[in-house]
Amino acid sequence: MKSEGFRQPFIAQGLYMTSPDLAQTIQEVRDKALEELQGLASEEELESWRILYLGRRGRLTSVLRSLGSLSQEERRVVGAQANQVKALLEESLAQAEGQVKESRIAGLAQEEQIDVTRPGRSVALGRFHPLTQILREICDAFVAMGFQIVEGPEVEWDHYNFELLNIPRDHPARDMWNTLWIDYRDEKGEQPMLLRTHTSPMQARTMERMKPPVRVIVPGKCYRYEATDATHEWHFYQVEGLAVDDGITFADLKGTLYEFARRIFGADRRVRFRCDYFPFVEPGVDMSIDCFACKGQGCRICQETGWIEILGAGMVHPKVLEGVGYDPSVYTGFAFGLGPERIAMLKYGIEDIRLFYSNDLRFLRQF
């Protein structure tokens, strides 16, 4: 403690001092104050110090008060000196206060230290189902190419699901779609209602509703009577695409789907188009991408072929156009259908399609 000297009356002899004396006194006050400030370690001590030197009755204040006894010239000189000292003391005090606070909190850290390695308070995070994520990604890719998203009924008429798509009743091509039928008979005793086997009925519904140009994609659930295993589900999603206008060609089909593959699977993806058959297109196409797992060398994912089939497509069959009242000699177009589960499986390395609808939270929380 260095505060004992404070109690001595300092300017008791008082009010009639000369200028050199006063300057001398200011100097002494400054030195003493700074010296005492050095050793102070608490906010309380600093406050006492402030009162002692800078308070209303403090030593420096008293000195300033006595300036009145000097001549104008002396007052100007000594006054400036006193104000300088005041500013210096105030600044030193502020600095000392800062240090004291800093070290007080640093001291607290000793007592109040927390274990930063304990786990944080849990936050319930919402997540989208992986199929929602992939569907949005797919839709975004096509929306960027001018396609609009439309949706349609999942419970459909045979008429839209098959007839208008050039798949008449008793046509062997119907075997390509094992159908789940709704238990409903019409007046003729026929069973015309079904769970759509693909999103393709929206081709006909969309074209019936609007005139060209048409450029839509149709995401939605589809159903097939199919035994389930790691790669087959009776309940699945599909994304249908359709572009019809005067002047749309097979070359456009290739370009559009190529661009899609690049957006979803990366810019260095190679694609392969081969001929395939779907009754509602002519010519028909099957598109594969080069296997990203083995870079085309052949592996388990691509069944050693280096290629992975990802979608079916083709030029809209003239009969389909005729069926909805479009003139096939004027309008052409392409259609495609792809399976988002398959794309998600490829992207995320999911090996069992049944995981999508089992809703195991341990699965869903990984996305």
Partner 1 sequence: MKIPLSWLKEFVDINIPAEELAHRLTMAGLEVGEVITIGGWENCYVGYVEKVERHPNADRLNLCTVSTGNGTQRVVCGAPNVAEGQKIAFARVGATLIDVHTGKSATLKAAKIRGVVSEGMVCSEKELGLGEDHDGILVLPEDAPLGMPLTDYMGDQVLDLEPTPNRSDWLSVLGVAYEVAALTGTKVHEPEVFYPEEGNPISSQARVFIRNPDLCPRYTASIIKGIAIGPSPRWLQERLQRSDVRPINNVVDVTNYVMLEYGQPLHAFDYETLLRSNIMVRRAYTGEVMETLDGVTRVLNSSHLVIADDRDARALGGVVGGIDSEITDKTTDVLLESASFDPTNNRQTAQAFHLRTEATIRFEKGLRPGLPAVALRRATQLIQQVAGGTVAKGIIDAYPGKKGDTSLLLTSERIKKVLGVEFPMDRPREVLTSLGFDCREEGPSALRVTAPYWRSDIAIEDDLVEEVARIIGYEAIPTTMLSTPIPANEPQTLRNFREEVRDLLVMEGLQEVISYSAVSLDMLKRARTADDDSSLLKVANPMSGDYQYMRPTLRASLLRTLASNLSHQADSVSLFEIGRVYLKREKDLPSEPETAAGLFYGPRSSEGWLGSGDRYDFYDAKGVVEALLRQVGVAGGFQPSDDPFFHPGKAASILANGSLVGILGEVHPLVQESFEIDGGSVVFFELNLEKVFEAVPQERRALKPLARYPSSIRDISILVDSSIPAARIQSVIENQPLVERVLLFDAYEGKGVPSGKSSLAYRLYFQAADRTLSSEEVNKSLAKVIGLLEREVGASLRGGEEVQG
* Interface pick for partner 1 out of 49, 326, 336, 356 (rule CB under 8 A): 356
The C-alpha angle with vertex 32 and arms to 27 and 34, in degrees rounded to 5, equals 95
- Contact of residue 140 among Zn ion, partner 1, none (CB under 5-8 Å per partner type): none
- Scanning 22-30, 95-103, 260-268, 276-284 for contacts with partner 1 by CB under 8 A, the matching segment is 276-284
At closest approach, how far in Å is the CB of 160 from partner 1?
A: 10
Please report whether residue 140 would count as binding partner 1 according to CB under 8 A. no
CA distances in angstroms from 102 to 106, 108, 142, listed in the order given: 6, 10, 59
For residue 232, the one-letter residue type is H
Please report whether residue 270 would count as binding Zn ion according to CB under 5 A. no
**Residue 151, strand partner residues:** none
At closest approach, how far in Å is the CB of 288 from Zn ion?
A: 11
At closest approach, how far in Å is the CB of 278 from partner 1?
A: 9
CA distances in angstroms from 246 to 89, 212, 242, 325, 327, listed in the order given: 88, 8, 14, 14, 10
The C-alpha angle with vertex 188 and arms to 186 and 190, in degrees rounded to 5, equals 60
Site for partner 1 in 101-120 (CB under 8 A): 118-119
Please report whether residue 352 would count as binding partner 1 according to CB under 8 A. no
**Residue 194, strand partner residues:** 156, 181
Site for partner 1 in 281-300 (CB under 8 A): 282-285
Site for partner 1 in 197-236 (CB under 8 A): 210, 213-215, 221, 223, 225, 228, 234-235
The site that binds partner 1 (CB under 8 A) totals a number of residues, namely 86
Q: Is the peptide bond before 20 cis (omega within 30 degrees of 0)?
A: no
The answer for residues whose C-beta is within 8 angstroms of residue 92's C-beta and 6 or more apart is 33, 34, 37
Cα–Cα distance between 83 and 99 in angstroms, integer? 24
Site for Zn ion in 297-316 (CB under 5 A): 299, 301-302
* Interface pick for Zn ion out of 137, 294, 347, 357 (rule CB under 5 A): 294
At closest approach, how far in Å is the CB of 285 from partner 1?
A: 7
CA distances in angstroms from 306 to 27, 231, 263, 301, 337, listed in the order given: 91, 19, 20, 9, 22
The site that binds Zn ion (CB under 5 A) totals a number of residues, namely 6
* Interface pick for partner 1 out of 28, 31, 246, 304 (rule CB under 8 A): 246
3-state DSSP of 194-249: EECCCCCHHHHHHHHHCCCCEEEEEEEEEECCCCCECCECCEEEEEEEEEEECCCC
At closest approach, how far in Å is the CB of 11 from partner 1?
A: 47
Site for partner 1 in 305-344 (CB under 8 A): 315, 317-319, 332
Please report whether residue 272 would count as binding Zn ion according to CB under 5 A. no
- Closer residue to Zn ion, CB minimum distance, 23 or 301: 301
Burial bucket for residue 39 (CB in 10 Å: 0-12, 13-18, 19+): exposed
- Contact of residue 248 among partner 1, Zn ion, none (CB under 5-8 Å per partner type): partner 1
Please report whether residue 348 would count as binding partner 1 according to CB under 8 A. no
- Scanning 100-108, 277-285, 292-300, 340-348 for contacts with Zn ion by CB under 5 A, the matching segment is 292-300
* Interface pick for Zn ion out of 46, 214, 253, 291 (rule CB under 5 A): 291
> For 19, how many CA atoms within 13 A lie in the half-sphere containing its CB?
12
* Interface pick for partner 1 out of 137, 245, 293, 352 (rule CB under 8 A): 245
The C-alpha angle with vertex 181 and arms to 175 and 182, in degrees rounded to 5, equals 170
CB 313 within 8 A of CB 335: yes
Please report whether residue 145 would count as binding Zn ion according to CB under 5 A. no
What does the binding site for Zn ion look like in residue numbers (CB under 5 A)?
291, 293-294, 299, 301-302
